[in-house]
Amino acid sequence: MAGSVRLDLAIRSAQAASRVVGRVAAGWVGRRDTALLARLSPRVRLLEVCMPMVSRSADHLLMWWGCAAVMAVSGNRRAAGAGVAAMLPAAVVANLVGKRLVRRSRPPLVMRIARPGRVPESGAFPSGHTAAAAAFATAAVLVSRAAGVPVCGAAVLVAYSRLYTRAHYPADVAAGTVIGIGTALILHRLTGSLAADGRQFPKAVRHASAPRCRVAE
């Protein structure tokens, strides 16, 4: 009974905190975010064509599944596996946790009406596209720089495409980047620790099971 009461209080506290964050985002931060978005996404004819295509290619993680397939075929299976393992939880944290807690609206229609590209109806903060991109690229480069550096370039393009199509504010993209990089670093640290433990375990077993012989004096 007491546990359920504490859980209910924790949920209500989280909801209240999310409303406060939402008000702050819509106020002082929101005004500056809107101005920064306008500066970072000037209209350029070439980008009008390229950026919506980049943004759509990252829908439903399609770009990263494709990158993982290419990396695996080219012999970088560990980097591909690390990228996939990082992008999935990062996307969950951004889309199913962050957006539900903050509930920030997308940039207003007046800013998006002349821009090509589809803008979803879900919340804006944080950017799920950017979180998945940053997680995949960070995890891949931690395993293989040769394979990860080109992927990092693709991740930067995806992040900027979300700004150029004005699907997100700069703060949304920044938060998605932090979530993605943080998720990849945590998983890399955990898997490194597990691998180290796995290497030490057989040695410990061999030492423990080795017969002890006394030398006659």
Taking the model in full, what pTM does it have?
A: 0.74
Closest CA to 99 of 207, 176, 200, 197: 176
DSSP-derived 3-state class of residue 165: coil
b or e along 123-151 (b: 16 or more beta carbons within 10 Å of the residue's beta carbon)?
bbbbbbbbbbbbbbbbbbbbbbeebbeeb
Q: What is the pLDDT of residue 198?
A: 46
Place of tokens 């796995």: 198
Give 29-68 pLDDT, tens digit per residue. Answer: 667 888 888 888 777 888 888 888 998 889 889 999 999 9
In angstroms, the CA 110 to CA 115 distance is 10
Give 164-197 pLDDT, tens digit per residue. Answer: 888 889 999 999 999 999 999 999 988 875 444 4
